[in-house]
């Protein structure tokens, strides 16, 4: 009676408690207990059968609805979130995924114009919707491919993942801002990889902490098959930690048959030296033979420690622009000036080589 517990068979039992169990099984069990309680109640009060049946049905409905509501999940979280580019390479974002964190950011190079987003809900009963920055539904750019494909504009692209729990009341919105770099590759370049990821620094000159070395970096390229060869107009490269005192020098060398730089053909004219993408102009008479190998060589005319600079590089082997028959090596060459030997490395300079095919002059 009251708050005192009953006994059965000499064992004291606590007050009856109803535990809502998740899922449909929990709903059935809770509803079943409600029906049993109502039948006992009607028997004790000796109500008429018809009235009891009506009351029982209404009570069962209300009790069942309550049991079902108690059984639905309130989990509106993700268990995983992943991004890939067109090539299937993972796109990193920060901070690392945590179901409790709802804001993320990623940066991609200009060549990445589409990503694949996979959002995994933590509870099977939840639903997932994808929205843009204006909270409008995102259209899948490729309905055949798995997961959601999102086309990217240059600049910031906002993607929202809205997770609604099974109870339809609990909602979590995860926001991911993917910033795509603006394209800097020239549309008519002979060769360019400037839109690839900027993920390596290639030291040129003499670093302050290594006064006994003097680094030179080089990248091999091959011309196409235009009959009269090509006019070379300029070379673009991405510099960092650069100043006029660092003695920046860019030259074009011929290539030995063994695939190393041979002799300097042209020294390019420097722009104002600063960090960023710079254009080095070729002499007006600079020409390249057809189907021939050349090197763009970066070195320094300064010798003092600390007069070094970086050519920014990439581990990507992709090209953003490529004239017919031309190619860029997938490895770079490097050496210390005290050594006659060149070594090869996977990271290559971010570079663009500009020019056009030589055409035959005709009489007016």
pLDDT digits (tens, 9 = 90+) for 326-350: 999 999 999 987 777 899 999 999 9
CA distance 347 to 202: 8
Q: Give the per-residue pLDDT at 24.
A: 39
Q: What is the mean pLDDT of residues 176-185?
A: 94
Residue 5 within any structural domain of the chain:
no
Residue 125 has pLDDT above 70, yes or no: yes
pLDDT digits (tens, 9 = 90+) for 188-241: 999 999 999 888 899 999 888 887 788 999 999 999 999 999 999 999 999 999
Domain's final residue, options 180, 214, 238? 180
The 10s digit of each residue's pLDDT in 288-309 is 999 999 999 999 999 888 889 9
pTM of the model: 0.67
- Span 162-183, average pLDDT: 96
Which domain does 228 fall in, by range? 191-357
Closest Cα partner for 239 from 273, 287, 189? 273
Between CA 296 and CA 236 the distance in angstroms is: 10
Q: Rounded to whole angstroms, how far apart are CA atoms 241 and 309?
A: 5
CATH code, domain carrying 165: 2.60.40
Instruction: Tell whether the model's pLDDT for residue 48 goes beyond 90.
Output: no
Cα–Cα distance, 332 to 347 (Å, whole number)? 7
In this predicted model, what pLDDT tens digit does every residue of 62-88 receive, in sequence order?
555 555 555 799 999 999 999 999 888
Residue 69 sits at φ, ψ, to 5 deg, of -60, -40
If asked whether residues 141 and 266 sit together in one domain, one would say: no
For residue 194, what are its two tokens? 């400037």
Distance of CA 322 to the CA centre of its chain: 24
Segment 161-171 shows an average pLDDT of 97
Q: pLDDT band for 29, please (50, 70, 90 cuts).
A: very low
Considering the chain, what percentage of its residues have pLDDT values greater than 70?
Answer: 80
Provide the domain count of the chain.
3
Say if residue 201 is in the same domain as residue 280: yes
Check whether residue 212 and residue 308 sit in a common domain: yes
Q: Is residue 2 part of a domain?
A: no
Tell me, yes or no, whether 261 and 139 share the same domain.
no
């Amino acid at each position: 009676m009251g708050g005192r517990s009953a006994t059965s068979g000499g064992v004291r039992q606590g007050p009856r408690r109803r535990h809502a169990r998740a899922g449909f099984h929990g709903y059935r069990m809770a509803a079943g207990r409600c029906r049993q309680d109502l039948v006992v109640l009607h028997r004790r009060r000796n109500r008429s059968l018809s009235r009891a049946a009506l009351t029982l049905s209404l009570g069962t409905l209300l009790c069942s609805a309550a049991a079902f509501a108690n059984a639905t999940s309130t989990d509106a979280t993700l268990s995983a979130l992943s991004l890939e580019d067109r090539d299937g390479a993972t796109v990193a974002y920060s901070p690392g995924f945590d179901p409790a964190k709802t804001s993320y950011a990623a940066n991609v190079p200009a060549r990445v114009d589409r990503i694949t987003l996979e959002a995994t809900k933590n509870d099977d009963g939840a639903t997932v919707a994808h929205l843009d920055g204006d909270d409008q539904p995102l259209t899948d750019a490729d309905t055949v491919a798995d997961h959601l494909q999102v086309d990217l504009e240059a600049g910031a692209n906002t993607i929202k993942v809205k997770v609604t729990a099974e109870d339809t009341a609990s909602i979590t919105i995860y926001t991911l801002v993917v910033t795509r770099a603006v394209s800097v590759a020239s549309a008519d370049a002979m060769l360019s990889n400037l839109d690839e990821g900027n993920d390596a620094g290639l030291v040129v000159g003499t670093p302050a902490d290594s006064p006994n070395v003097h680094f030179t970096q080089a990248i091999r390229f091959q011309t196409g098959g235009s009959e009269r060869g090509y006019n070379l107009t300029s070379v673009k490269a991405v510099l960092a930690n650069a100043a006029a005192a660092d003695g920046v020098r860019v030259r074009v060398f011929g290539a030995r048959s063994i695939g190393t730089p041979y002799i300097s053909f042209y020294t390019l004219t420097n722009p104002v030296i600063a960090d960023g993408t710079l254009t080095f102009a070729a002499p007006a008479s600079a020409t390249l033979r057809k189907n021939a190998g050349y090197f763009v060589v970066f070195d320094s005319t300064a010798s003092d420690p600390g007069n070094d600079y970086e050519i920014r590089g990439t581990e990507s082997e992709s090209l953003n622009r490529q004239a017919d028959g031309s190619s860029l090596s997938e490895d770079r060459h490097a050496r210390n000036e005290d050594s006659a030997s060149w070594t090869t490395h996977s990271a290559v300079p971010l570079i663009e080589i500009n020019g056009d095919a030589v055409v035959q002059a005709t009489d007016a």
